[in-house]
Amino acid sequence: MMRAGKALDSLVTGLHGRVADEAEWEAVVALANHTLLTPALFASLAQSGQINRLPRDVHDYLAFIHDRNRHRNLRLREQLSEAVAALNGAGIVPILLKGAIPIFLSPVERLPNRMTSDLDIAVEADEEAPARACLEERGYRQVPDDRGMSRPQDAGILELRPYRPDGFLRQQPTERNGLLVTIPLPQARAMHWIMHDLIKEGDYWRGRMDLRHLYDLARLSDSEHLDWAELRKAMLDKSTRNALDTQLLSMHHFFGTKIPVESAGCLTARLQHWRRVFTVRHPVVGAPLRLAGNVIWGLRRLSRAQELARRNPVDLARRIGLILSNRGLRSKI
């Protein structure tokens, strides 16, 4: 088996709480770092009682990253609480998204081990300007060439966006320690993650996976008993349904998630899932598949590219180069 495939299998085995036999730990740790799953790997092995089976240097490194990530998450929790309090004081109830949700909901003693890159918050469209002004009063400034806001003393970027109803983002008001937020229901959160990765960021066409998000979705499905069949019926067209089926097949393949029979039997989704796994295991042989997927994704975005070409042709050329060279993928594999 290729080294990339063995590293992937060993990492997934570790996330299941088991130590893989004859794991090449340098490659496994490198993959865990790239996919932002290093703290989760340590936590899974620690919870299963397998952590002491690791080589001492690997154990110490994973423990160090886990502890530093916990410290960062505590700082993110304080930052999020301060921002929510400020917005509540201005009469605004923010909608928490993605990684901000477990940071807000979890008690300090059970803070998630998830590595969170930023804090995502949405507000009603007519509240965006006053919300931004409220945060600016507390020192936040716009990050250049980014929609996030930041302060020098904080651990992460605060990404403020207008809430756009999409039919899936059903919500419920939630109060913690005197702070009031709105949180999407579990199935809505799962669908938001899937549509963001596979449709908005093009993973479905590019043949890419965000292994951290697959792990998040698998754990959410286990804890909340998500009804994937219901969500599948809610898909508006065949393309989005195939994207959902592809993600479900990957969740089942790596983490054993129970999925609808219809998803497992979808030929298009099975081919897409095979392409994603094959190109990770065999990056050299799979390079033409990656290139073809990047070209397809680029063609789908042609209308936006034409607008960008008029405004900033240099930036368009940079983006095309990143896509075709498989760079700028962040934590995706």
* Angle of the 25-34 helix axis to the 38-47 helix axis, nearest 10: 120
Domain count, the chain: 2
49 and 88 share a domain? no
Q: Is there a contact between 232 and 245 (Cβ–Cβ < 8 Å)?
A: yes
79 and 40 share a domain? no
How many CA atoms within 13 Å lie on the side-chain side of 91? 3
224/115 Cα distance (integer angstroms): 21
Shortest CA distance to 120 belongs to which of 153, 169, 71, 167?
A: 169
Structural domain for 105, as ranges? 72-184
Q: Cα 76–79–81 angle (5° rounding)?
A: 110
Digitized pLDDT (tens) for each residue of the chain, 333 residues in all: 458 899 999 999 999 999 999 899 999 999 999 999 999 999 999 999 999 999 999 999 999 999 999 999 999 999 999 999 999 999 999 999 999 999 999 988 888 999 998 999 999 999 999 999 999 999 999 998 777 999 999 999 999 999 876 655 567 899 999 999 999 999 889 998 899 899 988 899 999 999 999 999 999 999 998 999 998 988 888 989 999 999 999 999 999 999 999 999 899 999 999 999 999 999 888 889 888 888 888 777 766 666 555 555 665 566 666 655 555 567 899
In a domain, 208, yes or no: no
48/170 Cα distance (integer angstroms): 35
CATH number, domain of 175, equals 3.30.460.40
Note the pLDDT of residue 85: 98
Domain boundary among 184, 207, 233: 184
Note the pLDDT of residue 214: 96
Domain boundary among 184, 209, 239: 184
Domain boundary among 130, 160, 184: 184
Q: Is there a contact between 86 and 139 (Cβ–Cβ < 8 Å)?
A: no
Q: What residues contact residue 205 under an 8 Å CB cut-off, 6+ apart?
A: 293, 296, 297, 300
143/9 Cα distance (integer angstroms): 38
Note the pLDDT of residue 275: 95
Q: And the tokens for 284? A: 């050299």
In a domain, 258, yes or no: no
